Chains A and B, each alone.
Chain A
Amino acid sequence: MIDRLDLWVVIIGLGLGSFGLRFVFLGLVGDRPLPAWLSRHLRYTAVAVMPAIVTPLVIWPNATDGQTDPARLLAAAVTLGVGYVTKNVILAILTGAVTLAASIYGLG
């Protein structure tokens, strides 16, 4: 059972901290121009952070206690492939989800 005090400390602390992270540049820097080297790095934020988060989740899924799972690997590959070729986020999600469902029921 989660301790109630711990839970609320985490909810409020995480809320304040997350807002602080989102506000730090937008709120405090305002419209002063960023140096070119910083902008150049920031262009690659999304395409670097998201793969770094997602890779361990794909290779070592939580649902299988970290055992590499062919169904989830296949779904990930299909999602990435469809997204890359079609540039269509929703189509990629749907084909990925269908692939996962089909291979869980097919393989299981």
Chain B
Amino acid sequence: MPAPSLSSFYWQGLRAGAPFFLVIGPFGLLFGVLAAEAGLNLFETLSFSVVVIAGAAQFTALQLLQDQAPTLVVLASALAVNLRMAMYSASITPHLGGLPLWKRAIAAYFLVDQTYATASIAFERRPEMTLSQKFAFFMGVMTPICPPWYAFSLLGALVGESIPPEYGLDFALPIAFLAMIAPALRSGAHVVAALVATLGALLLAFIPYNLGVLLAALCGMMAGAETERRMGA
């Protein structure tokens, strides 16, 4: 059998990432709409999505900017929401760390929740993929996720205030996250990690600036790792 070409890995990645197009649509639209309501113009909204390219952090920043929070608090809170990106970076490093620096920089820029989740699951399931095949796959995954994020933010800004709040678009983020979490609960240790993180998030919600979320996530990771170690998996 001839070795499959790199472009076939790009297309496999694109197909794997394609379902998230349906998530990015409403989510990006919602950011654009909220940004327009906050008084941002089209250029500012588009810049926000291109430069930051992180949904949850963008929503956090926008909310706090509107609350007239100090600039440092806005930055610290939104970056705290994004701290998970450092964990994604570490987690994907065994797979993409061998790439040349400029490719690592490109992969880092496109490393968001959906691209990370899709690529890391695929890389663990198919360890026989080579470095360049993995990079081609990753660029395929980001194609239906990242450029649509810019486009739908812009579209949302254009649509502006015409979407009434009772449409429940606010819940696009939780539904998307829950839909991603559920299939990832592959073992008892994964379930333990998720349950501990959930409980922690509720118990630590009083801690300001999203730090409770970070602590809860850390507890969940430790619980998952410890469960795995004891089960000898």
Give A residues with C-beta under 8 Å from B. Answer: 1-2, 6-7, 9-15, 17-19, 21-27, 29-34, 37-63, 71-72, 75-76, 79-84, 87-90, 92-94, 96-97, 100-101, 104, 108
Contact = CB atoms under 8 A, between A and B. Distances in A.
A27 B105 contact: yes
B145 interface: no
A59 B203 CA distance: 12
Secondary structure call for the B interface: helix
Contact of B213 (A41, A52, A83, A108): A52
Contacts of A57: 173-174
A62 B90 CA distance: 32
A58 B170 CA distance: 11
Contacts of A51: 181, 194-195, 197-198, 201, 220
B53 A18 contact: yes
Given A22-B85, A46-B184, A48-B194, A96 B179 contact: yes
B232 to A, nearest CB: 12
A51 B219 CA distance: 12
A80 B81 contact: no
A19 B85 CA distance: 9
Given A21-B79, A76-B175, 19 more contacts: A2-B38, A7-B40, A14-B82, A15-B53, A18-B52, A24-B86, A27-B104, A38-B90, A45-B217, A49-B84, A49-B217, A52-B217, A56-B205, A56-B213, A63-B165, A75-B175, A76-B178, A96-B175, A108-B166
Contacts of B94: 31, 33-34, 39
Contacts of A46: 88, 116-117, 120, 180-181, 184
Interface in B159-194: 165-166, 168, 170-185, 189-190, 193-194
A67 B75 CA distance: 27
A47 B81 contact: no
A103 B97 CA distance: 46
Contact of A55 (B86, B172, B201): B201
A32 B216 CA distance: 29
Given A51-B220, A72-B174, A14 B97 contact: no
Contacts of B111: 22, 26
Contacts of A76: 174-175, 178
A7 B65 contact: yes
Given A46-B117, A52-B201, A63-B165, A29 B90 contact: yes
A51, A71, A81, A82: most-surrounded residue (chain B CB, <10 A): A51
A61 B170 contact: yes
Contacts of B107: 26
A61 B171 contact: yes
A97 to B, nearest CB: 6
